[in-house]
Copies of this chain bind each other. A is one copy, B any other.
């Protein structure tokens, strides 16, 4: 595959695994689509499916899943702690290889348009696919969730979908479609059970408080392990690397005389982000991927390695 685009649709069903399996099967019922993972969360009553495809296949796969989800999930009967407005709630496209964020925005817009045309589900464009700068932020679009959006879309022009009219789909609601960069979910565990410290560090380092660009952070308590954790999303690891984040948390922790117990990457991390960590801590100047044996081999031997 010369081009690889990731798609991470979220579905408003986290309890009935047969329904999620049916949606995944619809998604996979076409060429050049590969499943990377699926996670169901009972409390959130939500599932996150991760798959990859090509420029040609990834959007059609998402549309098959959106169609199937609209047959199986009825938001009128849905309850969960995670905010949602659609059976297929969000559909972000992420450039992985041979594609740009702009390419993914094009795909997102086409999927948004086709979701409305084929299934009569209104769609909103967010993040890098947004046409309206106010809609870059998903939380702004989803405010009030399915129940309130269903009312407000009729009367408030500000809440009108990018594709669709004055009514949400009666059971499938509305879907938000995006293009965004790869997101690294990264947590740092502190050698303390003091969750207030984790919260204070999160407030200090996160972008929204003027901290590190591309860092979302909260402080949480891991009761089973008796540890406080700084739980983060790194939305732009090329701007703020994992090493920079680790050093910033360590600096704040040291100030409070607390050490870092461990850290963890949830899900997947791009190779480049890991190579940058090595170059950062070893102070390797002019580090480039080509000094890595396997990369050189791949370049010399070609795709057949």
Contact = CB atoms under 8 A, between A and B. Distances in A.
Contacts of A262: 283-285
A200 interface: no
Interface string A1-24: 100100000000000000000000
Interface stretch (A123-131, A136-144, A273-281): A273-281
Contact of A300 (B52, B263, B267): B52
Q: Which secondary structure characterizes the binding site on chain A?
A: mixed
A81 interface: no
Interface string A284-305: 1100000111111100110111
Interface residues of A, number: 43
Interface of A: 1, 4, 34-36, 52, 96, 182, 242-243, 246, 260-265, 267-271, 274-275, 277-278, 281-285, 291-297, 300-301, 303-305
Given A52-B301, A274-B274, A277-B277, 12 more contacts: A1-B305, A52-B300, A246-B282, A262-B283, A262-B284, A267-B291, A269-B292, A270-B294, A271-B271, A271-B294, A281-B281, A303-B303
